[in-house]
A = this chain, B = another copy of it.
Amino acid sequence: MQRTKIINLLNSKQEIDIVLVKGWVRTRRDSKTFSFIELNDGSCLGNMQIIADQALDNYEEIKKITTGSAISVKGRLAKSKGGGQKWEIPAENIEIISMSPESYPLQKKRHTDEFLRTIAHLRPRTNKYGAAFRIRSELSYAIHSFFKNKGFKYIHTPIITGSDCEGAGEMFRVTNLELDNLPKKDGHVDYSADFFGTESKLTVSGQLSAEMFALALGDVYTFGPTFRAENSNTSRHAAEFWMVEPEMAFCDLAGNMELGEELIKYLVAYVLENCKEDMNLFARFVDKNLMPALENILTRDFARLPYEEAVNILKNAKNKFEHEIEFGKDLQSEHERYITETYFKKPVIIFDYPKTIKPFYMRVNNDNKTVAAMDVLVPGIGEIIGGSQREERLDVLETRMDEHGLSKEDYWWYIDSRRYGSVPHSGFGMGFERVIMLMTGIRNIRDVIPFSRTPGSIDF
C-alpha cells in the first residue's frame, strides 16, 4: 500500500476508508483509553491527529512513543470529533519505525534561533524552520515560473572564475595545489601548476557571463550560488548565498526598473496565494506586521527618484545619521532605510548614481556624471535589488575600464560583445535570501539558508 502525504489528507474533501501515513511524532498525550499522536511528515505545517485505541496489539509500546520517533499508521481518514482539526485517523495499525531517545534535542518547548543554528541538521523538523524552507522552495519555483512565463532562458554561469576584479567584493580562492608544498617561481606561487593553470576564484556574480547570453538569446537569467569572502559578521551577510540575475537585450533602465518591481510583486503575490499556512505562522509568531507590509508592497507603486533627489531628502531629514551624506557618497544602510521606511513608507527605486561609486560596466548618462544604475529598496530589508543599464558603447566601455585600471586583455571576450552586434541591455541582481527574509519576517540570513556559511562557521 502506498503512503499518502499528510498535506493531501488534510486537504481531502471526503472520508477515505483506508490510508497509510508515515511521519515523525511531534507530540503524544494519553487519555484513559486512547493515545493521541500528532504526526508530521514535512509535506506541510499541519499535523495529522492519530488516535491509538488501547485495543491495539502493541498499545503498551505505543504508549512509550517519544517525540521525534518515526511511525507508520494505517487507518480510516475520518472527520474529527475534536475541535482542533478537521480530519483524524483512528489507527487500525501502528508500526514503530524508529524510537527517538530522550536526548532528542527538539522536545516540545520553545528553542532560540541561536540554539537551533547549532543543530541546523534538525531544525527543519520544527514548525518555524520547516515553514521557512518550504517557502524557500516555493519562492525558487516562483522565480523560475516568472521568467519562464516571460520567455527568459535560464543560464548556468560559471561558479569558478578567472576574472578577479568585477568590483563586487572579496573573492575566495579555488585551488588544488598542495598548500603545504606550494610550487614557487620567483618567490611567488606558481599558478601555472594549479588545476586551471592560473589563479581562480569563486564567482561574486554571473552578470558578465549572462550578458554574453543576453546578446545571443535575448532575455536570460541566472539563479545560482555566489560568494563573498568578506569578514563581516552581520545578520544580513553570508559568505555563500543565492542570487537571481536577469539580463535583457534591447532593454533600458526604465524597462529594468519595471521588471524589478514586477518580479517582487509577483513573488509577494505568489507566497500569499501558495504558502498560506506557512505564511500564517510567520505573520502570527515572527512578525506581527508581516501581512500589512507585504500588502503595502503588492498594492502600491514603487517610488522612483534619482540618487540626487534622495541625497536632498536625506540632507533635509531631521534624522541624525551616523554617516554624513552628500552627492558622490554611497548611500549607507541607514540612509536606505530612512528613504524607504520613514520617508516613502513603501518600496523605492533610486536611480542615476554618481559614476565614481559604481562599477565600470554601468552605462554613463549624458550628464557624464551619473550612470544608469538603480537600486530597489524595501522597508525592513533595505536594498533587495541592484542593477543597471550596461555600457554598450565600445569606446566608452574601454575608457571606463582604463579609469578602473582593468586589464582589457583579461576581459577581451566581454569587450568583444560590444564590438559585434552590441545593443542596449540591462539587468540586475536580486539577493534570494533577502527575498525570503522579506517574505517571512526572519531577520537573520543564517536562518533562511539550509546550512549557512559565515566567518568561522562551516558546520554540517
**Which A residues are closer than 8 A to B by beta carbons?**
3, 5, 7, 22-24, 41-43, 68-70, 72, 97-98, 100-101, 103-105, 119-122, 124-125, 130, 133-134, 136-137, 140-141, 144, 148, 151, 153-162, 170-177, 179-180, 182, 187-189, 195-198, 200, 202, 209, 212-213, 215-219, 224-225, 227, 229, 231, 239-240, 242, 249-250, 392, 413-414, 416-417, 419-424, 449-451, 453, 455-460
Residues of B within 8 A of A449 (CB): 156
Q: Chain B's nearest CB lies how many Å from the CB of A292?
A: 28
A460 with B68, Cβ < 8 A, contacts A213-B124, A423-B22 known: no
Known contacts A122-B416, A209-B450: does B137 contact A154 (CB below 8 Å)? yes
Kindly list chain B residues whose C-beta atoms are within 8 Å of the C-beta of A122: 212, 216, 416-417, 420
Copies of this polypeptide in the complex: 2
Asked if B179 and A173 make an inter-chain contact with CB atoms under 8 angstroms apart, the answer reads: yes
Contacts of A239 in B (CB 8 A): 160, 195-196
- Of chain B, the residue at the smallest CB distance from A118 is B413
CB <8 Å contact, B158 and A141: no
Partner of A124, one of B124, B174, B217, B225: B217
Known: A5-B151, A225-B225. A218 touches B249 (CB 8 A): no
A23–B218 CA distance with the chains assembled, in angstroms: 8
Chain B's nearest CB lies how many Å from the CB of A19? Answer: 14
Min CB gap A411→B, angstroms: 10
- Inter-subunit contact A148/B141 (CB<8 Å): yes
Chain B CB within 10 Å — which of A104, A182, A239 has the most? A239
Q: Determine how close the nearest CB of chain B comes to the CB of A31; give it in whole angstroms.
A: 25
Q: Which residues of B contact A179 (CB under 8 A)?
A: 173, 175, 177, 179, 182, 189
User: Is B227 in contact with A225, judged by CB distance below 8 angstroms?
Assistant: no
Q: Can you list the 5 inter-chain pairs with the closest CB atoms, starting with the nearest?
A: A42-B217, A124-B216, A196-B458, A137-B153, A42-B218
With A156-B242, A172-B176, A195-B231 in contact, is A5–B457 under 8 Å at CB? no
